[in-house]
């Protein structure tokens, strides 16, 4: 499948400013993988305090961006969109490693592979890169739950 622009992304993620972390989907193979982008700008609200004079994207936000890409892949794989009655929650994070700081001006490339999706529970592996440099990686578990 070809990529997705922001208007379509908004149909698959319930997140909105300031917590929408996916700007574009470059590639997606439904049921298998997604490649998405997050453009990191100095306008991000967390840079005010993390850290003054030395802005660094918090590692947990990098992992959240991976999880949002995984959320899009989950909904596409299940053939549905968020309907206000269900949401995909984090269920676990394993093996998170942070290799290099992400700073304003970087473009974060999020590569997420789906390993399994059974009864609304999914397991993914994710990588975040800036250019060709790996900056973070983690295994993510997510669960679709009714709200």
Note whether residue 141 is domain-resident.
yes
Domain count, the chain: 1
Q: List the domain range (segments joined by +) for residue 119.
A: 6-146
Note whether residue 132 is domain-resident.
yes
Note whether residue 55 is domain-resident.
yes
Note whether residue 106 is domain-resident.
yes
Regarding pTM above 0.75, the answer is yes
| Residue 15 bears catalytic tag | no
Write the DSSP string, 73-137: HHHHHHT----SSEEEEEEEEEEEEE-S---TT-EEEEEEEEEEEETTEEEEEEEEEETTEEEEE
Q: What is the CATH number of the domain that holds 92?
A: 3.10.129.10
Note whether residue 32 is domain-resident.
yes
**In the chain, how many H helices and how many E strands?**
2, 6
Q: Which pLDDT belongs to residue 139? A: 98
Note whether residue 1 is domain-resident.
no
Out of 50, 59, 87, 91, the active site residue is 50
- pLDDT tens string, the chain, 147 residues long: the values are 789 999 999 999 999 999 999 999 999 999 999 999 999 999 999 999 999 999 999 999 999 999 999 999 999 999 988 888 888 889 999 999 999 999 999 999 999 999 999 988 999 999 999 999 999 999 999 998 888
Q: Which pLDDT belongs to residue 86? A: 81
Separation of alpha carbons 101 and 118, rounded Å: 34
Separation of alpha carbons 82 and 13, rounded Å: 7
């Amino acid at each position: 499948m070809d990529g997705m622009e922001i208007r379509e992304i908004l149909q698959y993620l319930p997140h909105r400013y300031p917590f929408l972390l996916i700007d574009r989907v470059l590639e997606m193979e439904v049921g298998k993988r997604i490649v998405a982008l997050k453009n990191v700008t100095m306008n991000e609200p967390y840079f005010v305090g993390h850290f003054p004079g030395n802005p660094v994207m918090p590692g947990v936000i990098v992992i959240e961006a991976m999880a949002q890409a995984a959320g899009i892949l989950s909904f596409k794989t299940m053939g549905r969109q968020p309907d206000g009655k269900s949401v995909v929650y984090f269920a676990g994070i394993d093996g998170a490693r942070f290799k290099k700081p992400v700073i304003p001006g970087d473009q974060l490339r999020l590569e997420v592979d789906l390993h399994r999706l059974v009864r609304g529970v999914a397991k993914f592996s994710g990588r975040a890169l800036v250019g060709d440099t790996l900056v973070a990686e983690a295994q993510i578990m997510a669960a679709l739950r009714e709200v």
